[in-house]
């Protein structure tokens, strides 16, 4: 029949028209916007250098950071010792490299633990609401009131110092702020059209959370995680500065603490560890700002 012939021809013409390329995804657009910002590039470069230093610390500085025979004590920066030596003759460059690795290990694990707890708690509270929201928010507020340094003193007094204890302490007490951000996003998303559509076809609450709510709240959460990572570095350095770090691992906070009594004799003992802390923190903050600006531009 002529009508069916016309319809089949139209269908063939439609199939023959191929798009020249897929439209850019939101993720790709976000990455391009981040890379187009000079401060974003600086932040990405600083974070990449810190991550590379942590990954290849044994190759960059293969010596033992606790080796007291590396050189003469309080030796200024030179070709033999790029960052000088400390009061015991330990090479400061080796110590800073391995201290950066310690800081990045703490950041990685603390962010992973706290992000997992914060996303689960926040998404459940925001999506379910009601009694679940009330109870879990009261628990969140209780965790927010816990003083980390006092708790660290208690933990170290009972179980001793160790990197794994610091990671667990910070990871299990640092999730409330992220949970509140996730909760606010989940409240906004639970009444969106795509969530209502999934609910109308009989999708379970768990499926809606995993397939629809959580993927759509991850982008704004990335900014919070990047800012939180910079805080973790400062908290870990502060604990090590007070002597609460792992005695078997060199850390940037320990190096800064050890330099206090030698500020007038050996400026390099304080400058280089402090600069490492400042640059990594600056890189994370610049990267978070760039991602935040990029996400606003893609919405």
Q: 122-145: per-residue pLDDT in tens?
A: 988 888 888 888 898 888 888 888
Tell whether 18 is covered by a domain: no
pLDDT beyond 60 at 7: no
Residue 81 belongs to domain spanning: 47-298
Asked if the structure places residue 26 within a domain, the reply is: no
Residue 18 scores a pLDDT above 60: no
Task: Answer whether 183's CB lies under 8 Å from 125's CB.
Answer: yes
The mean pLDDT of the chain is: 82
- Beta carbons of 94 and 80 less than 8 angstroms apart: no
Residue 202 region, left (φ>0) first, then alpha (ψ -120 to 50), else beta?
left
Whether 150 is covered by a domain: the verdict is yes
| Residue 28 included in any domain | no
For tokens 């810190």, name the residue.
50
Give per-residue pLDDT as tens, 47-98: 999 999 999 999 999 888 888 788 888 889 999 889 989 988 899 999 999 9
* 203 located within any domain: yes
Is 40 part of a structural domain of the chain?
A: no
Residue 175 in 3-state DSSP?
A: coil
Paired residues of 91 in beta bridges: 85
How far is it, in rounded angstroms, from Cα 218 to Cα 254? Answer: 35
Structural domain count of the chain: 1
- The more confident residue out of 170 and 206 is 170
Asked whether residue 273 is assigned to any structural domain, the reply reads yes
The pLDDT assigned to 55 comes to: 92
Query: Is 35 among the domain residues?
Result: no
Confidence of residue 279 (pLDDT cuts 50, 70, 90): very high
pTM of this structure: 0.80
Residue 193 neighbours by CB under 8 Å, 6+ apart: none
**Which three-class secondary structure state does DSSP give residue 85?**
strand
Q: Are 110 and 171 in contact (CB under 8 A)?
A: yes
The CATH number linked to 53 is 1.10.3720.10
């Amino acid at each position: 029949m002529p009508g069916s012939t016309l319809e089949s021809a139209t269908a063939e013409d439609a199939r023959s028209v191929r798009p020249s390329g897929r439209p850019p995804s939101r993720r790709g657009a976000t990455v391009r916007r981040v890379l187009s910002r000079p401060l974003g590039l600086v932040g990405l470069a600083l974070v990449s250098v810190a991550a590379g230093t942590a990954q290849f610390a044994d190759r960059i500085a293969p010596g033992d950071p606790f080796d007291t025979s590396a050189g003469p004590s309080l030796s200024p920066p030179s070709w033999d010792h790029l960052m000088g030596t400390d009061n015991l003759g330990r090479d400061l460059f080796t110590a800073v490299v391995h201290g950066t690795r310690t800081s990045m290990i703490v950041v990685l694990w603390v962010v992973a633990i706290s992000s997992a707890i914060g996303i689960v708690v926040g998404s459940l509270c925001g999506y379910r609401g009601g009694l679940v929201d009330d109870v879990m928010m009261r628990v969140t507020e209780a965790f927010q009131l816990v003083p980390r340094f006092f708790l660290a003193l208690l933990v170290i007094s009972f179980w001793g110092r160790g990197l794994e204890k610091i990671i667990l302490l910070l990871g299990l007490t640092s999730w409330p702020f992220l949970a509140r951000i996730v909760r606010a996003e989940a409240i906004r998303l639970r009444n969106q059209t795509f969530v209502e559509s999934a609910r109308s076809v009989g999708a379970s609450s768990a499926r809606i959370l995993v397939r629809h709510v959580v993927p759509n709240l991850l982008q704004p959460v990335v900014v919070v995680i990047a800012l939180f990572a910079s805080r973790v570095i400062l908290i870990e350095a502060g604990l090590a500065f007070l002597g609460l770090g792992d005695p078997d691992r060199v850390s940037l906070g320990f190096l800064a603490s050890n330099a206090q009594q030698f500020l007038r004799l050996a400026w390099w003992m304080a400058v280089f560890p402090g600069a490492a802390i400042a640059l990594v923190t600056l890189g994370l903050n610049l990267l978070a700002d760039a991602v935040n600006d990029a996400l606003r531009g893609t919405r």
